Amino acid sequence: MLNRLRVFRERGWQEIDAATYAQIWQRFGGSVPTHPLVVEQLADLAGIPVRYLGWRVENEWQAAIPAWGRHLALAKAVLKQRGQKGLFDLGNAEIILPVASEARIPLRHRARYLSALHTQNIVTASIQSEQLALARAPEDFSGKFRYNQRRERRLAEEAGGEIRWAGDFSPAEFAALYLDLFQRRWGFAATGKTHMAEVFTRLQPLLSGAALFINGAPVAVQVLYRAESPGWLSVEYINGGVDPQSRNFSPGSVLSYANTQAAWEAARALKKPLRYSFGRADRDYKMLWCHASPVLQT
């Protein structure tokens, strides 16, 4: 019975290897949770083999997916079923699969938060009720908003503040910084605490984000991953932490401004659109920085 279900689910798809998947991803692009390095490393951490599938038309690959059974690889549902809930944290990331823009592909695997970019080329996808929060372009903010952000950063700097980037730290150092500030902010441990340093090490080429220090002491941090595709730059804001004693400096706002500005500058230097996701559009603070984007599911 299970084999028959797999045959139906994979009808029209062909099994491929990881190298071929990576080649298709590099050709058509994707996002952080479908990046070949992310899939390979986090699946290895979980100990769950990935089944890579490709869609070919007239001897040309048009799409590829990484799968865990009936789900896309790295799905939270699979980790939960295997007793590995919270093994790692990718938030509620925007899923962009490597699919040719002109292709029309039936996807029968379960996927949530599929990008609106797939509205035309994944024919089995439908709009879901939740939306994603994607960062607004700098020019979409009012002059007053931009002035206030610059002012908050200046006040933090005058109080001894300094922004340091993820690349200034080893993965273990950045993990320790994040875990400490998350615990201080929320009073409980961050998702994936046990393996956080290992995950940051495995994904170091994509690890991004920044931390704010006041007089040498860390007061806020934001963890991001960044993946460049041929047609866009994908950035996922995973989570952050803030020392509650430092709220007078608006540290979260200071870092959101610094991180989004840096991402827009990088994207425009590459002459590519930016898809900077804050995850689900479910918090008022996110909508200060973002617009709500429709999201699909299969």
- Each residue of 43-81: pLDDT tens digit? 999 999 999 999 999 999 999 999 999 999 999 999 999
Q: How confident is the model at residue 155 (pLDDT cuts 50, 70, 90)?
A: confident
Mean pLDDT score, 103-114: 94
Tokens found for residue 129: 């009720």
Tokens coding 37: 């390095």
Tell whether the model's pLDDT for residue 2 goes beyond 60.
no
pLDDT of 88 higher than 90: yes
| pLDDT at residue 147 is higher than 60 | yes
Provide the edge-to-edge strand list for the sheet that holds 60-68. 14-16, 51-57, 60-68, 71-72
Nearest CA-CA partner of 200 in 228, 232, 177? 177
| pLDDT the model gives residue 174 | 98
The CA distance from 181 to 219, in Å, is 7
Beta partners for 65? 53
- How many alpha carbons lie under 13 Å from residue 80 in its C-beta half-sphere? 4
Q: How far is CA 35 from CA 72, 146, 297, in A?
A: 12, 33, 19
- Terminal Cα-to-Cα distance of the chain (whole angstroms): 22
The mean pLDDT of 212-230, rounded to a whole number, is 96
3-class state of residue 74 by DSSP: coil
pTM of the model: 0.95
Q: Is the pLDDT of residue 145 over 90?
A: no
- Between residues 147 and 27, which one has the greater pLDDT? 27
| Nearest C-alpha neighbor of 255 from the set 292, 285, 279 | 285
Domains, the chain, in order of start with CATH, read: 2-130 (no CATH), 134-292 (3.40.630.30)
Contacts of 163 (CB under 8 A, 6+ apart): 210, 211, 212, 213, 254, 255, 258
The pLDDT assigned to 232 comes to 98
Parallel, antiparallel or unpaired: strands 114-115 and 290-297:
antiparallel
pLDDT, residue 113, reads 96
State the alpha helices, DSSP H only, in 189-237: 196-202
Q: Is 11 exposed, middle or buried (0-12, 13-18, 19+ CB in 10 A)?
A: exposed
- The answer to whether 32 touches 279, Cβ cutoff 8 Å, is no
Polymer length of the chain: 298
- Binning pLDDT at 50, 70 and 90, where does residue 9 land? confident
pLDDT at 50: 98
The span from the CA of 18 to the CA of 39, in Å, is 10
Helix (H, G, I), strand (E, B) or coil at 243: coil
Angle (deg, nearest 10), helices 251-270 and 143-158: 120
What is the structure's pLDDT at 10? 80
User: Can you tell me whether residue 17 is helix, strand or coil?
Assistant: coil
- Residue written as tokens 């699946």? 43
